[in-house]
Structure formats: C-alpha cells, structure tokens
Amino acid sequence: MGVFEGYMKILLTAHHADEFRGVELFNWTIAKELSKNHDVYFFSFDLGIMSKHIKDYATIIKKIDQTQKFDMGIISHNSCYNEVSHLCKDKLFISHGIFSPLDEIPNDRNCRTYGVSEEVQWKRNTEFIIRNPVDTEKYQPQKDGGGGGILYLTNHPNSHTNFVLERMGMPLFHCKGEWKVEEFIYRADLVVTSARGAVESMACKKPTFIVSPYGFDGYCGEYWELKKNNFGGRRYKKDLSIESFKYELSKVKNVLDCYNYVIERHSVDKVVERLFREL
C-alpha cells in the first residue's frame, strides 16, 4: 500500500520522550508528516518534553490498551517492540544506532527492519536504510541570516572542541537542549555539530562540520561518505586541532550540493514516500 492510497491508523514509539534526542526528533518529524494523511499515535515508557511536542500531531498513549489495533507500527527501540508489536498489522523496526541495546533488531520474520545509515545496517543487519528525516518547513535557507559566527550545536559540548573553535577568529555561540534549533542555525556563519544536527544545518544551507565524542570528520563536503556513518564523526576520525580545523575551513565550496543532497534524501516527505513504496 502506498502512502497516499488509503487512510491508516499508525503507531510510533520510542523508549524515552523526555529530551530533545535523535530518536524522539525522528518520531516528531515522522508524526508531523504522517498526520497529514493518517491517524497517528505515539507510545513511550518515559513521556516528557518531547512527547509534549509530538502530541501536536499524534495521540499520546500512556498505557497500552490490548484491544486497540493499528494498521502499522513504525517502531523505535526493541523494548517498545515487545510491548506493542502484536497490536500492529504491519510492523517496521527502526534501528537508530550501533551502541544501544535498544537498537538491536527483534527476532521476528514478519517485521521489516531499517537502519538510519549504512553503518547501522552493517552492524544490525537490517534489510533497508531509512535516512534521518528532516522537516524542511522548520529547517530551510533564509534570505537574511548569518553574521553570528560559529555555532557549536551539541547536547554534549567538549572542552577541547571549544578550545579549538575559540581560536578560529570568529564569535562562538552554543545551542544545547533547545527546541527552536533553527533560530540558532539561522544566526550562524557555519555550524559544528553531528548526526541529525548536521542534516538540519545543511538543510539551511550552512557550511557544516562534523565533530562528535567519537571523532572529527571535518567539513560535510564529502556527504556521500559521511552519510554512511550518519554524520556521527566515525567515518574518518581525524585529530581535531587548530590546524586541522583551519584546513577543513579551506574546503568549504559545495554548500549547495550538500543542501541538494539533504533535500533529495532526507526531506521527510520523500523519506515517508520511499518507506511506503517498499511495503
């Protein structure tokens, strides 16, 4: 069944919904898009700040009703899968990473499995890849913007990264645990971030640099390689220094190509369309 071929009752899940993390933002983005054509529900064991935003587009389930049935479950985290999969006619499991046991795929032949990158697909042995979806209504280029310097966008700032960025000769500002991330991105001349933050920044046509607790992958110009590790700093794992960051700054040329890549591969409408096309 294609996404526009019929109304469906769809369940989304995440083990936690209490912080602005990648899995929760994945669900918010998908819920917003699916709610245009379908009846969307969301379940989590740990409701909080993120579920308060998801409720704009989905009915929040606090306790599972065993009589309730869904046409489809797009399920993140195997703890949720064990709780709700039997309620769903069709089941898709999304593995978001290579470290958490929650992302290990369930042992169920009747479930389609997806990883958010080639790295996850290799590690978790998923059938398909689904790119992190981005709401291009929320994240888009601005005619007026920039001038604020370097944005260090992460929930886990690193003192060494701060040390390097402070020596780039540009103002440095931070964004951590904010809902309106796009307002910070719009102010920036360039963004230092990873994972979902990288895709959101490229969607705003900002030069984007990958730094994470796992490593330094540099400028996003080689998006075709960095996407394999979900822009998570694990592709090249370069040493971050004043000299290496200045070298990566010299490589900023194909910002428009990075933007076009995100629009084609990560725009939520196209991600959902591909997801349903594979059913």
- List the chain domain ranges: 9-130, 150-264
Q: Is residue 194 scored above 80 in pLDDT?
A: yes
Residue located via tokens 């822009």: 231
Q: 38 is written with which tokens? A: 């379908």
Q: How confident is the model at residue 5 (pLDDT cuts 50, 70, 90)?
A: low
Rounded mean pLDDT, 224-239:
96
Residue-level pLDDT at 2: 41
- The predicted-structure confidence for 144-166, as pLDDT tens digits, reads as follows 889 999 999 999 999 999 999 99
- pTM of the predicted protein model: 0.94
- The two tokens of residue 22 are 């990648």
Q: To the nearest whole percent, how much of the chain has pLDDT over 70?
A: 98
Please give the pLDDT value at position 1. Answer: 37
**Mean pLDDT, all residues of the chain:** 95
**Ordered DSSP codes for the chain:** --TTSS--EEEEE-SEESS--HHHHHHHHHHHHHTTTSEEEEE-SEESHHHHHHTTTSEEESS--TT--EEEEEEESHHHHHHHGGGEEEEEEEE--SS-GGGSPPS-TTEEEEESSHHHHHHHT-SEE-PPPB-TTTS---SS---S-EEEE-SS--HHHHHHHTTSSS-EEEE-S-S-HHHHHHH-SEEEE-THHHHHHHHTT--EEEEETTEEEEEGGGHHHHGGGTTSS-SS-BPP-HHHHHHHHTT---HHHHHHHHHHHTBHHHHHHHHHHT-
Residue 236 has pLDDT above 70, yes or no: yes
Token pair recorded at residue 177: 């645990």
Position 41 pLDDT exceeds 70: yes
Task: Grade residue 210 by pLDDT with cuts at 50, 70 and 90.
Answer: very high
CATH of domain 9-130: 3.40.50
Predicted pLDDT of residue 278 = 77
What average pLDDT does the segment 196-212 reach? 98
Provide CB contacts within 8 A for 185, sequence distance 6+. 139, 151, 153, 175, 191, 200, 201, 204, 206
pLDDT grade, residue 76 (50/70/90)? very high
Rounded distance, CA 208 to CA 63, Å? 41
- Residue 3 clears pLDDT 80, i.e. is over it: no
Spatial CB neighbours of 16, under 8 Å, sequence gap ≥ 6: 23, 24, 44, 45, 46, 48, 50
Mean pLDDT across 99-127: 96
Mean local confidence (pLDDT), 101-113: 95
Mean pLDDT of the 43-66 span: 95
Please indicate whether residue 36 or residue 6 has the higher confidence score (pLDDT).
36
Mean pLDDT on 204-229: 97
Q: What average pLDDT score do residues 20-35 get?
A: 96
Which residue from 125, 155, 114, 122 is spatially nearest to 22, judged by alpha carbons?
155
Q: What is the pLDDT of residue 255?
A: 97
